[in-house]
Chain A
């Protein structure tokens, strides 16, 4: 990852994290605010319900009292008490009384619990309301909830009972108002609130929505333990208010549904806005980051480019100095460094040249010394022979001249090698079939490998069929291969295996080919590996030591690489990689 990218990412990350934190805080605050408001609305409605309930209760009590105190009812009580009157004549009395007082329920019940008149169910005259005969102080009981039977099913009523003395017994006046939709409508809920009265606890849920399931759970919970309870779902908050009857039995549940859809919508809206703002912020941040990164890293990048130039060999690269800050200072230091590098490089090149000349001179001296010493000995032998043993002079002269000529050939060879090495021209590139070349080169050494009296050397060819043609100088390349093969053979005096391999290397950008020459000889130490390509370095007893230097030179001219890997006792492998 580039420095600019890192800078860019770090700034961007900072911006994004900041935006996220702000958005989260805002979202949390909004959510909490709405939750509070939601709870307040529900609490307000519950409170309103209780108030309305109490108001209704007082109203019911007042109206039933009015009926109980009315002339008709008083007369009925007196008549009941005085004698065995025929109550049949009163059977429709309750309807008129209930209508006058706007009550949904009104029954006049005799001392034995038989209904004399019923407003809500006129046909029930004569039936018993045994619950009235319980020894209860009805006045103290006040107003209570009760399930009342109606022709079309049970209904919930806010009821109260008044009694009048009727001789030895009591006349019961029981009346009330229905707790139904009209009552619920009197509790105006806020928008998004829905109130319903659940009477049939076992009825199946109206739908399969999560809200219905939540309601079912809430109802079940309240049934098990009647108390006010709230449950919150994803879209709705449900509050249950149990409505208990006279004996504290659960008669109905007032279910307040507070829709959270608005909250969710608003939350979503706010979150969306936050996201948009955040994204905008992030984008802005990105832009800023880009600019900042660019601004910060541009000089550094320029400097890096200069460094690369230097690394690539352009040691005279100069960094621009655009500021006096640390970056400017760095550029200055870079320039100073490159100046020093150039100086040092020049010095080093000079020194290397001197060292190379010294080495060459040493090598040359060493190479030449060898043939020259026999020359000198031979000539001295000749002088001595002429002087001491003129009769053997001819033979000595013949032997000595033979030796002299041989050593002169050797000298010529050495000089020729050096000449060749010095004279190696630039490669003349043309497509070369390496596999074919390898085979040809190896063939040259077949006779040597199978020479009688010599431990056999097995040749192994592992040639890649997919090898592309290589742009190379065939002559030079052949020469380099010959040198490598020769080296390999020389490294296996006791025989072994010479392996030649070609391989196609497909890289991400381009293709290369690799040629390996492996022997199973004595191997090389790491120090020998390091000095191997130095001209005149040889591990052999003979040779000019130029062979691998030539190979390296050829490979270098072909813009390739050559490496060696070896371990003592395990042979060596020379690997040339060339561009395809």
Chain B
């Protein structure tokens, strides 16, 4: 393993020392070549397409630099009725990035290519750290949890009951248990959601919806129903429903939704991530089936926490990804976990997510809150 890494690194460094360019440098070189093809300085429109693993940040940096360089070389840039269309694709082959510029003048097409050895440091440095704050653990499965009253009250949802706690001296003290009367027997792989409501709270379980109060005491009343689950507390308009006996949340034709603010993303039965228009999100193969959107000030684009893939019951991981231009790019290191993730939900507080892991050693269900911090 070590030897392999060495070879890679060696190869990488060898290449990097020779020709590595920053995005502005690559853009300048490309702009010069493009403008040399257009001595008459016609009006030009610029379109950018990314077919590489370049991060959105580098991509936008490159795009801005290219446009600037083209302007500097005397080419008027316009979006409407240009004389020339410059279609720039950041492609990638086995040797690295490849810039492909198609200069379209009427029916004529000129193609310019430029290999780009990007400086490795900007691509690989993680920009985010995942912060994990344990909240509660218990032998029974934890489906979700809710922190209320400035995180002084805790509601824990398990498959058959809601438990309430009060924070005292840094410890959670149990204050109540309310059993849930379920319309159906608990699912083999239980999932559920609990949200705060003006009068108390609401619980969403497969085919059962419960409303509860905390005052004067914890009470819960349940009835059969299949209401929409609040996947993202920040946007109640995003409607998904539990599909009985399918273990998925569904909005027509899709399963396991998560929400990025502008578009709903779903994972399909074939384990692809698609949006509502069936556009595929390119994700690394290590993505699992649990993900939650999470807000972060370190990243301008929507960010998602995702579990790892595989059936491995010993370990799991969580990692943050930035969603941009149809790609999910990791922006944090992967956080190893002591067992498989059994629940991963956006929390009621922005910038947090609820994570539940079944510790493969102890068998306990450990619920924690995740947050993101900008990496130094």
A84 on interface, CB distance cutoff 8 Å: yes
In whole angstroms, what is the CA distance A275 to B270 when docked? Answer: 89
In whole angstroms, what is the CA distance A86 to B268 when docked? Answer: 9
B250 on interface, CB distance cutoff 8 Å: yes
| Chain A residues with CB below 8 A from B150, complex form | none
Task: Using CB atoms, name the residue of chain B closest to A86.
Answer: B270
Task: Using CB atoms, name the residue of chain A closest to B278.
Answer: A84
| Chain A residues with CB below 8 A from B148, complex form | none
B197 on interface, CB distance cutoff 8 Å: no
In the complex, which of the residues B243, B250, B253 has the most CB atoms of chain A within 10 Å of its own CB atom? Answer: B253
In whole angstroms, what is the CA distance A84 to B268 when docked? Answer: 8
Contact indicator A82/B270 (Cβ below 8 Å): no
CB distance from B55 to the nearest CB of A (A): 30
In whole angstroms, what is the CA distance A86 to B270 when docked? Answer: 7
A 79-100 to B, binary, CB cutoff 8 A, 1 in contact else 0 = 0001111100000000000000
Interface residues of A in 63-108 (CB under 8 A from B): 82-86
B332 on interface, CB distance cutoff 8 Å: no
B254 on interface, CB distance cutoff 8 Å: yes
In whole angstroms, what is the CA distance A82 to B253 when docked? Answer: 8
Contact indicator A83/B250 (Cβ below 8 Å): yes
CB distance from B148 to the nearest CB of A (A): 35
In whole angstroms, what is the CA distance A82 to B269 when docked? Answer: 11
B188 on interface, CB distance cutoff 8 Å: no
B 250-272 to A, binary, CB cutoff 8 A, 1 in contact else 0 = 10011100000000000011100
Contact indicator A83/B255 (Cβ below 8 Å): yes
CB distance from B342 to the nearest CB of A (A): 23
Contact indicator A84/B254 (Cβ below 8 Å): yes
Contact indicator A82/B246 (Cβ below 8 Å): yes
B 269-284 to A, binary, CB cutoff 8 A, 1 in contact else 0 = 1100000000000000
Task: Using CB atoms, name the residue of chain B closest to A82.
Answer: B246
Interface residues of B in 156-174 (CB under 8 A from A): none
In whole angstroms, what is the CA distance A83 to B244 when docked? Answer: 12
CB distance from A342 to the nearest CB of B (A): 142
CB distance from B273 to the nearest CB of A (A): 14
In whole angstroms, what is the CA distance A83 to B254 when docked? Answer: 7
| Chain A residues with CB below 8 A from B246, complex form | 82-83
Number of contacts between A and B (CB, 8 Å)? Answer: 19
CB distance from B199 to the nearest CB of A (A): 35
In whole angstroms, what is the CA distance A118 to B246 when docked? Answer: 29
In whole angstroms, what is the CA distance A82 to B246 when docked? Answer: 9
| Chain A residues with CB below 8 A from B250, complex form | 83
Contact indicator B268/A82 (Cβ below 8 Å): no
| Chain B residues with CB below 8 A from A84, complex form | 253-254, 268-269
| Chain A residues with CB below 8 A from B253, complex form | 83-84
A 552-575 to B, binary, CB cutoff 8 A, 1 in contact else 0 = 000000000000000000000000
| Chain A residues with CB below 8 A from B254, complex form | 83-84
CB distance from A174 to the nearest CB of B (A): 26
| Chain A residues with CB below 8 A from B255, complex form | 83
Task: Using CB atoms, name the residue of chain B closest to A89.
Answer: B270
In whole angstroms, what is the CA distance A82 to B248 when docked? Answer: 11
In whole angstroms, what is the CA distance A86 to B274 when docked? Answer: 13
In whole angstroms, what is the CA distance A85 to B253 when docked? Answer: 9
In whole angstroms, what is the CA distance A83 to B248 when docked? Answer: 11
In the complex, which of the residues B243, B255, B269 has the most CB atoms of chain A within 10 Å of its own CB atom? Answer: B269
| Chain B residues with CB below 8 A from A85, complex form | 269
| Chain B residues with CB below 8 A from A82, complex form | 243, 246
CB distance from B238 to the nearest CB of A (A): 18
| Chain A residues with CB below 8 A from B268, complex form | 83-84, 86
In whole angstroms, what is the CA distance A256 to B269 when docked? Answer: 56
CB distance from B277 to the nearest CB of A (A): 13
Task: Using CB atoms, name the residue of chain A closest to B245.
Answer: A82
Task: Using CB atoms, name the residue of chain A closest to B252.
Answer: A84
CB distance from A85 to the nearest CB of B (A): 6
In whole angstroms, what is the CA distance A103 to B80 when docked? Answer: 61
Task: Using CB atoms, name the residue of chain B closest to A79.
Answer: B269
| Chain B residues with CB below 8 A from A86, complex form | 268-270
A 256-284 to B, binary, CB cutoff 8 A, 1 in contact else 0 = 00000000000000000000000000000
A 188-214 to B, binary, CB cutoff 8 A, 1 in contact else 0 = 000000000000000000000000000
In whole angstroms, what is the CA distance A83 to B278 when docked? Answer: 13
In whole angstroms, what is the CA distance A83 to B253 when docked? Answer: 5
Task: Using CB atoms, name the residue of chain A closest to B274.
Answer: A84
In whole angstroms, what is the CA distance A85 to B268 when docked? Answer: 8
In whole angstroms, what is the CA distance A82 to B268 when docked? Answer: 12
In whole angstroms, what is the CA distance A83 to B241 when docked? Answer: 13
In whole angstroms, what is the CA distance A82 to B247 when docked? Answer: 12
In whole angstroms, what is the CA distance A86 to B280 when docked? Answer: 14
| Chain A residues with CB below 8 A from B243, complex form | 82-83
Task: Using CB atoms, name the residue of chain A closest to B272.
Answer: A86
CB distance from A274 to the nearest CB of B (A): 85
In whole angstroms, what is the CA distance A85 to B243 when docked? Answer: 15
In whole angstroms, what is the CA distance A76 to B143 when docked? Answer: 32
Task: Using CB atoms, name the residue of chain A closest to B255.
Answer: A83
In the complex, which of the residues B243, B254, B270 has the most CB atoms of chain A within 10 Å of its own CB atom? Answer: B270
In whole angstroms, what is the CA distance A85 to B270 when docked? Answer: 8
In whole angstroms, what is the CA distance A84 to B266 when docked? Answer: 12
CB distance from A79 to the nearest CB of B (A): 8
In whole angstroms, what is the CA distance A83 to B256 when docked? Answer: 12
In whole angstroms, what is the CA distance A563 to B269 when docked? Answer: 140
CB distance from A103 to the nearest CB of B (A): 29
Task: Using CB atoms, name the residue of chain B closest to A84.
Answer: B253
| Chain A residues with CB below 8 A from B269, complex form | 83-86
B residues sitting closer than 8 Å to A (CB atoms) are: 243, 246, 248, 250, 253-255, 268-270
Known: A83-B253, A83-B255, A84-B269. 16 other contacts (CB 8 A): A82-B243, A82-B246, A83-B243, A83-B246, A83-B248, A83-B250, A83-B254, A83-B268, A83-B269, A84-B253, A84-B254, A84-B268, A85-B269, A86-B268, A86-B269, A86-B270
Q: Nearest 3 CB-CB pairs, A to B?
A: A84-B253, A86-B270, A85-B269
A residues sitting closer than 8 Å to B (CB atoms) are: 82-86
16 residue pairs A–B, Cβ–Cβ below 8 Å? A82-B243, A82-B246, A83-B246, A83-B248, A83-B250, A83-B253, A83-B254, A83-B255, A83-B268, A83-B269, A84-B254, A84-B268, A84-B269, A86-B268, A86-B269, A86-B270
